[in-house]
Homo-oligomer: A and B are copies of this chain.
């Protein structure tokens, strides 16, 4: 008898399928990734893939789910270290850079979601939202600590939304310049200015300039 532990071989196959599916789908998108492509790339026959995941949609859901769980466990603490705002902001931005660089699957998968409009199953859409909610919650919590916004949840929300949109925009930019990095510096300046702006201005009030 082999020394192989209780782990079934099936579990390993499952992971292997998920690995290649994650890779292919994040590179080509959901629609452009076929079962036969996955089968050829991971060595297992198509029927095994169906045995594990039931359908192409099932693979997509499983891929998203695993990506989200991986992200969750890898996400740095919300309690960003640092004595003053500048230091904590730096910690946050560094953490964000790490997340952005080490979990490109997530951002790319979120973009390979051309399927959302019609072909997406309810499960896939739900999983997609869960992934994004995870990121939002982390950014919101961390930014609340950075700028000490415990009493101003709307401001944390706004800063987090802004941060995530910048990150998404950078992910898009990568299609054109694959080397595009997160551009920490403008984001730092922007976040500080936004936080200061919202601190000096009563919540809800928005000073407009010019136009009626």
**Residues in A lying within 8 Å of B, measured CB to CB:** 27-32, 82, 86-87, 89-91, 94, 110-119, 128-129, 132, 158, 161-162, 164-173, 175-176, 183, 185-186, 189-190, 192-194, 197, 206, 209-211
Contact = CB atoms under 8 A, between A and B. Distances in A.
A111 B114 CA distance: 8
Copies in the complex: 2
Contacts of A167: 169
A29 B31 contact: yes
Nearest to A158: B186
Per DSSP, chain A at the interface is helix
Contact of A172 (B29, B110, B115): B110
12 contacts: A28-B31, A29-B29, A29-B31, A32-B115, A82-B210, A87-B209, A162-B166, A167-B169, A168-B172, A186-B190, A189-B194, A193-B193
A31 B206 CA distance: 43
B175 A164 contact: no
Contact of A114 (B28, B117, B173, B185): B28
A30 B165 CA distance: 24
A148 to B, nearest CB: 17
B162 A183 contact: yes
A91 B211 CA distance: 9
A173 B183 contact: no
Contacts of A183: 161-162, 165
A8 B78 CA distance: 64
A197 B187 CA distance: 12
A96 to B, nearest CB: 14
Contacts of A110: 172, 175
A8 to B, nearest CB: 33
Contacts of A94: 211
Candidate in A30, A89, A171, A185 with the most chain B CB atoms within 10 angstroms: A185
B189 A29 contact: no
